[in-house]
Homo-oligomer: A and B are copies of this chain.
Amino acid sequence: MRDKVNLLMNDQKVASSKRWTLKDLAKTLDAKLVGEADQTVAGFATLEHAMPGQISFLANASFESQLAKTQATAVIIHPRHTDMCPVSALIVDNPYLTYAKASHLFDVSPVAPAVIHPSAVIHPQAIVAANVAVGANVIIEEDVEIAAGAVIGPGCVVGANSVVGANTRLHANVTLYHRVIIGENCIVHSGVVLGGDGFGFANEDGKWQKIAQLGGVTIGNFVDIGANTTIDRGAIENTLIGDHVILDNQIQIAHNVEIGEGTAIAGCTGIAGSTKIGKYCTIAGAVGIAGHLQICDGVHITMRSAITRSITESGSYSSGTAMSRTQEWRKNAARFRQLDGIVKRIRTLERALKKL
């Protein structure tokens, strides 16, 4: 056993995969081939660690110096790197996009067979299409609908009246409450909880009276949701995630949030209740967005920012302070607490000087 572990511990290479000729790859990826058409590759690698028989790519100028030394059999490059490439080249306008497409050709992830595991507990009134994979210990409740091509990973719970669209995949141990609607071609990672109660309470004499969360969660098509992310159900209407939204791990989306088409959000970000986020926004990691705000289309927010007001113009927004050595930071942080007084001292100086 330990030998296998040690082997894998030192194994920086991906498992070998289907073997492709460069000719076939170039055709599939719509690339111009410069090199030997019948060479084959059977796995992706970085320029630095590639071995003969693997393919790599160059999409970022900071890795240019690695191109000359690469051991890869072929590299996906931009035309401007043709002369610098010491091995066969697949030449395309957007190497990163071509890498994205090519990556799937070398993916050796296990494919779930389209069968229903005998241990799955499926309510007789649930509708499960013919070619759906349902893993071990899955629970599918009343009036659920699972469309063709969907994969429900082991240990998932799909609550009553929920819908999983065609070709959508729930990885292992995902929890959907009741009335959670997921569109087609989505990927939902393990530990995700969709449709938990929004955090709504009214205070009565110091005691919190829970507000029943009557809405659901509605998720569009081509949505990706990262591990352990949570999206709460709406208080009255639904929480809404638009098509082509991509969400990283451990994001918290509160009740009645709406996220517009194509917006991308990085890990650990939290969005408070009823905030509406526009289309094609890019929100970095660990950002906090207060409730009841409107963020317009095309906004970028840098990592760990706190957003406390609506944003009505596209552009990039930030908050926080830059990092320093703790010793210096302590002094400056202490001064931050005097800032208003500091400005008053400056004003006094300005007046005094004016008099002179």
**Interface residue tally of chain A, by bracket?**
35 or more
A215 touches which of B14, B201, B303, B329 (Cβ 8 Å):
B14
The answer to whether A345 touches B336, judged by C-beta atoms less than 8 angstroms apart, is no
Q: Does A80 contact B (CB under 8 A)?
A: no
| Residues of chain B within 8 A of A117, CB atoms compared | 121
Q: Does A108 contact B (CB under 8 A)?
A: yes
Q: A196-B227, A209-B101 are in contact. Are A323 and B317 (CB under 8 A)?
A: yes
| Residues of chain B within 8 A of A115, CB atoms compared | none
Closest B residue to A192 using CB positions? B191
A139 touches which of B5, B154, B175 (Cβ 8 Å):
B154
Q: A9-B218, A171-B177, A262-B208 are in contact. Are A250 and B237 (CB under 8 A)?
A: no
The answer to whether A307 touches B332, judged by C-beta atoms less than 8 angstroms apart, is no
Interface members, chain A 311-328 (any B CB < 8 Å): 315-328
The answer to whether A175 touches B175, judged by C-beta atoms less than 8 angstroms apart, is no
A270 touches which of B5, B250, B333 (Cβ 8 Å):
B250
Instruction: Convert A202-221 into 0s and 1s, putting 1 for each residue whose CB lies closer than 8 angstroms to a CB of B.
Output: 11101111111111101010
Interface of A is mostly: loop
Interface members, chain A 41-72 (any B CB < 8 Å): 43-46, 49
The answer to whether B328 touches A332, judged by C-beta atoms less than 8 angstroms apart, is no
| Residues of chain B within 8 A of A266, CB atoms compared | 199, 272
A46 touches which of B237, B272, B350 (Cβ 8 Å):
B237
Mind listing 18 A-B residue pairs with CB under 8 Å? Answer: A1-B165, A2-B147, A13-B237, A14-B215, A172-B177, A173-B193, A189-B197, A191-B191, A228-B230, A250-B250, A250-B252, A266-B272, A304-B306, A318-B323, A319-B323, A322-B334, A332-B336, A332-B337
